[in-house]
């Protein structure tokens, strides 16, 4: 009888899905909220270094459960990673924004130290977890998490492409006056001004977008997408959080529910597109094992040239981290 109950509770424990969000700021809290109200996990643990912040955000989200009718428990903790043990997925949003007078290298050094500490704690308590990095600069922070974790590239990835494609789709939907649900697209490369939107792979309900919009308008939307993050900073004085937080939650959902969704994510390339040892956004299939497959699109010469330019910019930032790591 004792053995029966032990096996029952052991099985029950395996069935309880836990996702951890590190960082209780705007992006992290949004991710936790989406994970909760969409019931993507049984438990969502929010971790932050600021005393009481994660506890307050977790409690607030849990108190919303009777209103929005969900059962996911949200728990906040201050720098206590023991509560994260056994997480299936960990979303890392921690890091500081770039402040006036702060150089790029200063920002990389500061946030690389934060991501290093977070990753070490995550792996200590959840060695099988799949890691989604949201911290900026995104591509190099994904690199740092991968180096520190020593995990396969399929289990450490960055969230940028889903956010970038969402902005692109939103702008197109507005210009065409259609539902964003009907727009499919793909964006590759680094996260920022050197991303590589691919209009050739953009459709509206299966119709090539180039059949529905003129070139000048489309080019303007592409440029607006590249500067999408900066546009929001100018408007609000701070970085975006609703779209990035929701995008990270969508990636986690694809993994824990084994949906095999096709998304652009930041991953270490090992020969794909003729690029080796560089972290770039590329389309992948996301499932229960993390990145199940990297999809190597057949890019034309112009698209490949843009991707190579993006690679060059990302390698410059990776070199900064290499110098810092010694």
Active-site residue, 191 included: yes
Using CA atoms, how far residue 129 sits from 20, 74, 87, 90, 158, in Å, is 10, 18, 6, 6, 14
Given 125, 146, 191, 313, which residue is catalytic?
191
Listed in sequence order, the residues at least 6 apart from 99 whose beta carbon sits closer than 8 Å to its beta carbon are: none
Helix (H, G, I), strand (E, B) or coil at 37: helix
Cβ neighbour number for residue 110 with a 10 Å cutoff: 15
Rounded Cα gap, residues 306 and 49, in angstroms:
39
Q: Helices 301-325 & 104-125, crossing angle to 10 degrees?
A: 80
* 261-270 and 18-22 beta bridge pairing: unpaired
As a residue count, the chain comes to 326
Helix (H, G, I), strand (E, B) or coil at 285: strand
User: Among all residues, which ones are annotated catalytic?
Assistant: 191
């Amino acid at each position: 009888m004792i053995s029966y109950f032990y096996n029952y509770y052991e099985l029950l424990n395996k069935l309880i899905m836990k996702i951890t969000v590190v960082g209780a700021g705007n992006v992290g809290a949004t991710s936790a909220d989406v994970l909760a109200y969409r019931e993507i996990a049984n438990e969502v643990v929010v971790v932050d270094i600021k005393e009481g912040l994660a506890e307050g955000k977790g409690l607030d989200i849990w108190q919303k459960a009777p209103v929005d009718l969900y059962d996911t428990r949200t728990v906040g903790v201050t720098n206590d990673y023991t509560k994260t043990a056994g997480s299936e997925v960990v979303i890392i949003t921690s890091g500081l924004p770039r402040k006036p007078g702060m150089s790029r290298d200063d920002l990389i050094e500061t946030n690389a130290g934060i991501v290093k500490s977070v990753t070490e704690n995550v792996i200590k308590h959840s060695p099988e977890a799949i890691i989604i990095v949201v911290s900026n600069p995104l591509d190099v922070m994904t690199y740092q998490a991968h180096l520190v974790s020593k995990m396969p590239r399929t289990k450490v990835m960055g969230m940028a492409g889903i956010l970038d494609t969402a902005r692109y789709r939103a702008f197109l939907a507005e210009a065409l006056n259609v539902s964003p649900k009907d727009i499919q697209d793909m964006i590759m490369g680094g996260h920022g001004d050197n991303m590589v939107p691919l209009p050739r792979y953009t459709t509206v309900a299966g119709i090539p977008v180039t059949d529905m919009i003129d070139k000048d308008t489309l080019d303007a939307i592409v440029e607006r997408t590249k500067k999408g993050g900066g546009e929001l900073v100018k408007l609000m004085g701070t970085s975006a959080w609703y779209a990035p937080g929701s995008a990270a939650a969508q990636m986690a959902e694809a993994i824990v529910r084994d949906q095999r969704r096709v998304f652009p994510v930041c991953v270490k390339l090992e020969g794909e597109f003729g690029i080796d040892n560089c972290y770039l956004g590329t389309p992948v299939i996301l499932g229960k094992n993390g990145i199940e497959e990297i999809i190597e699109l057949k890019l034309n010469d112009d698209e490949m040239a843009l991707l190579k330019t993006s690679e060059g910019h990302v390698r410059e930032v990776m070199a900064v981290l290499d110098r810092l790591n010694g």
